[in-house]
Amino acid sequence: MKKTFKFALCLTVGVCLLFVTAAATSPAPMRQTDNPNPPSSVVKLVFIHHSTGENWLTDGYGNLGRTLDANNYFVSDTNYGWGPNSIGDRTDIPDWAEWFASDMTPTYMDALFNETEQHSSYTRTLSDPGGENIIIMFKSCFPNSALEGNPNDPPGTYEELTVAGAKYVYNTILQYFATRPDKLFVVITAPPLSDSTYAENARAFNDWLVNDWLHENNYALNNVAVFDFYNVLTDKNAHHRIVNGQIEHVTTRSNTLDYPSGDDHPNERGSQKATEEFVPMLNYFYARFLETASAPQPGPGAGPAPEAASPPEVPAGSAPASSVIADFESGTSGWEAFRDEATSSTMTCAAEAGSGRAGNSLRIDFDIAPNSWGTCVHMYDSPQDWGAGDGLVFYFTVEQAGVLFDVNLYAGAEDNRETYLFTIEAPAESAAGWVRMELRWEDFHRADWEENAGEPFAKPNAVIGMAFGMTTLPDAPNVGSLRVDDVSLLGDGSAAVVEPEATRPVAPAGPAEEEPRRRGLNCGGAAMVPLALVGFALFQTRLRKRA
């Protein structure tokens, strides 16, 4: 691990520090449904950790294992050497992207959800109740508090041990957590260092995790929680706990380890303090989780939901937990390629590792015969409510400018599916790099082969699928490769995927009233769209097998 230390000083007015410290001690009010009591039945929990976590679990040191056992948690854990590809060796902050946002995520999660062994020394008196682990705790070790950069750095574009890189990692893995509302993911912040070089950065990042991370991502589920292990260990007067029915996150002016053991591993006293404060907080996190826990959404590592939970009824559709619809960091589960088998057309679509704006992308390779068709489709198991957005925003790049493709939305009932589409002609700059594409709901119109042809799309709260389709000019083939990344709802929540101004597409040539954000066909090209899309009617009657 990189451990380059750069000396930095921050001069702060003492009065301001006292003001901030006083403000930080204000407890957050608890709701009437908050419950710090242990669960009524045994709950399975697995903890991903290394040496500090092992000490924390161990009887006579941190006592976390036996305290969780006494609170009705059947505890298992991972350590060095654990799991497929020895993934247990890798628990630094950048490694969480491999655990929760890679092509291996389904494999790792299957092993993690089904882990029942102990890899540390702690008392376990409860019998295994069966089923998968419901609570997933994970923690990085103290070197991860040496975050470079600046305290207020915004999220970056790749994983690294900086403030920006760490924020990027947690924003990325949150997208996987949103697909698993049947699991409770508990982030344990990395413990502090004795060295003060990066202490201000560590404090700022962990405060961001506790206070801003979920809020900035508009995360609506109760299946993600943060316990500030870092803060608890910085001072005897620093706390993250429940007292008299209120959550307290009390910080002090200390940003370094106050419980040394001869090195940067927290000592017994600090570890036991963390146990006393954490376990009631976990009880609260779990009680809150049960209020809205539901079956997993389609995605990697899907498994059964906890018996105590059932999916809520949402007549119009299920609202996404964040503005992100698909970033392809965990593969392309649910996306399938279809083609016109009556012709020589070929079509494939799959995740391509490392080819995205910051990770993977959806790659679509196509060779569409004249007057034929091919699509890369994702159909949802239940209607999706995308009404919180004004439309869609995504990025794309092609191998050769000028290729034609459609963005399709499907709505209504499965046995009476409605197709709405918008056709794009790839501009020259899309062959040189990523182009941002914004489409509002009214930009999509009903397919010409269906009734009410040309009608604007008005059902964002009942989306049953979407697709990228390859169309052709009359009597001409369409051959090439298209990559798509970061499909999100258009609106305030889409800010996370905005490119710098220099990389945005230039407004297409055409009438002055054409909006710069649009990349559709101009008036001259629009006349040929119905002819090019006739073949897609076949898709409406039945899905053909993959190419």
Over 107-154, what HEC string results? HHHHHHHCCCCCCCCCCCCCCCCCCCCCEEEEECCHHHHCCECCCCCC
**What percent of the chain has a predicted confidence (pLDDT) above 70?**
78
pLDDT band at 197 (very low <50, low <70, confident <90, very high): very high
**What percent of the chain has a predicted confidence (pLDDT) above 90?**
61
> Tokens 């059932």 — which residue?
310
pLDDT tens sequence across 255-290: 999 999 989 999 999 999 999 999 999 999 999 999
Delimit the domains of the chain by residue range: 33-292, 324-541
CA angle (162 as vertex; 160, 164 as ends), nearest 5: 95
pLDDT score for 246: 80
CATH class of residue range 33-292: alpha beta
Q: Which element (helix H / strand E) includes 376?
A: strand 374-384
pLDDT score for 332: 54
End-to-end CA distance of the chain: 44
38 pLDDT above the threshold of 80? yes
29 pLDDT above the threshold of 70? no
The amino acid sitting at 409 is: L
pLDDT score for 229: 98
pLDDT band at 298 (very low <50, low <70, confident <90, very high): low
User: What DSSP state is assigned to residue 520?
Assistant: B
State the DSSP string of 199-229.
HHHHHHHHHHHHHTHHHHTT---SSEEEE-H
Average pLDDT over residues 351-363: 86
Structure tokens at 347: 């079509």
pLDDT score for 218: 93
pLDDT band at 320 (very low <50, low <70, confident <90, very high): low
User: What DSSP state is assigned to residue 313?
Assistant: P
pLDDT score for 27: 43
Q: Which element (helix H / strand E) includes 18?
A: helix 14-24
Beta bridge partners of 374: 339, 470
Average pLDDT over residues 162-180: 96
pTM over 0.95: no
| Under 8 Å between Cβ of 323 and 493 | yes
CA angle (107 as vertex; 104, 113 as ends), nearest 5: 130
> Tokens 């882990």 — which residue?
115
497 pLDDT above the threshold of 90? no
pLDDT score for 1: 40
Structure tokens at 238: 């620093």
CATH class of residue range 324-541: mainly beta
381 pLDDT above the threshold of 90? no
pLDDT score for 124: 97
Beta bridge partners of 528: none
Structure tokens at 441: 């709901």
**Mean pLDDT, all residues of the chain:** 81
Beta bridge partners of 74: 44
The three-state secondary structure class of 60 is coil
Buried b (16+ CB within 10 A) or exposed e, 87-101: bbebbbbbbbbbbbb
pLDDT score for 34: 55
Structure tokens at 303: 């498994």
529 vs 145: which has the higher pLDDT:
145
pLDDT score for 170: 98
214 pLDDT above the threshold of 90? yes
pLDDT score for 331: 56
pLDDT band at 525 (very low <50, low <70, confident <90, very high): very low
